[in-house]
A and B are shown apart, each in its own frame.
Chain A
């Protein structure tokens, strides 16, 4: 996600100037994504260059509001209509860590799983506490952001539970650390 779509969505509500956009952006993400005003203006100037927003005359106080153009509106509609691709997200370090733990001699995979689960559980508890505090209807956008984080953390715990159950059932033999030097390369060759 880029700031670009956030600003387009906000401008779809009505014209706004830079500072207003910054405040509204932070409000709608529940403060989890702070922006500096420079980022707002850089993004606005790119949007203007691409014909997706248009600057309006400055107010008496010297603030220049922007409005969304038809091209910007089309871009925004396309964004809402397009699912976020999982491939766009960074590699999952945790999955890679567990895969490596499984094949590294001397690593207690169950305790790696448990350490992660406790940490993720703690995160879940804190999100839940924040959620418990926000019960007003006006808090709904913020609760949705929190819910997204909650469900992602929960998914991680469920996956860890699954990993643990799989470990109990099929614990693979860790690769021998004392493999014969002359056979090891040929085995690797064969795998290729």
Chain B
């Protein structure tokens, strides 16, 4: 299976000389379609740097980042911007919907900015909303939606059109536990339908929606948890006592 995202021995240093901070030191990671990878780690472990590199917002000092097989560092600026627009969707903690646009207009916006006709953009946006069961919200403005609804619309926007890679930075941070879970269900369903995702979170219960959990510490991957084959085997069976 082709990797939607691949990081190969990526290094990134902020600053130089004695005050240099080695944010990432030789991180390798790949994400295939249908896979959600969570990244966990303490503050300063390199989570945000990893996400910025994966999204083409930052360049590695050493190593390569490839999205849909294209090495981002090798692309001219204009082409890189194109890949960012067409291949990658972002979800942030603070929804980031434009307040003067309805849900469907927000979702259609990335396509319109990319030169797709208004009519086609709207059709794609409605499809993306429908995929997430959000058709009823299409004509609502952000201030007419709850936080959880806005975040689900943001996921619809992140994966509108041909985009298959979603990068989510603490997407449930501003939501209560039950609503956060509803958002993760949506993200999970979208990934199961063929997208690929990276979820940065500090909450283990949220990271648990991922297929793999990568633990970062001091810019290095210290461990990785993967799914077992038989979940039922794990259920606790306490000794019953009368």
The interface of chain A, by Cβ under 8 A from chain B, is: 2-4, 31-35, 39, 42-43, 46, 114-115, 117-130, 132, 135, 149-151, 153-154, 157-158, 161, 164-165
Contacts and interface: CB of A to CB of B under 8 A. Distances in A.
A42 B204 contact: no
Given A33-B240, A124-B208, A132-B188, A114 B223 contact: yes
The 3 closest A-B pairs by CB, nearest first: A157-B204, A124-B208, A126-B231
Nearest to A119: B225
19 contacts: A2-B241, A3-B242, A32-B236, A34-B240, A43-B242, A46-B242, A114-B222, A118-B215, A121-B204, A122-B225, A122-B228, A124-B205, A126-B228, A127-B208, A128-B208, A128-B209, A129-B231, A150-B205, A161-B202
Given A125-B227, A153-B204, A39 B234 contact: no
Given A118-B223, A130-B231, A132-B185, A125 B236 contact: no
Interface in B195-223: 202-205, 207-211, 213, 215, 222-223
B126 to A, nearest CB: 24
B226 interface: yes
Contacts of A164: 42
B237 A123 contact: no
A11 to B, nearest CB: 15
Interface string B51-95: 000000000000000000000000000000000000000000000
A124 B211 CA distance: 11
Given A46-B242, A128-B205, 12 more contacts: A3-B241, A32-B236, A33-B240, A114-B223, A121-B204, A122-B226, A125-B211, A132-B185, A150-B205, A153-B204, A161-B42, A161-B202
B225 A121 contact: yes
Interface residues of B, number: 31
A3 B240 contact: yes
A164 B215 CA distance: 13
Contact of A154 (B204, B210, B224): B204
B237 A33 contact: yes
A162 to B, nearest CB: 10
Contacts of A161: 42, 202
A80 to B, nearest CB: 20
Contacts of A153: 204
Contact of B234 (A42, A114, A123, A132): A123
A35 B223 contact: no
A77 B88 CA distance: 56
A3 B227 CA distance: 33
Contacts of B42: 161, 164-165
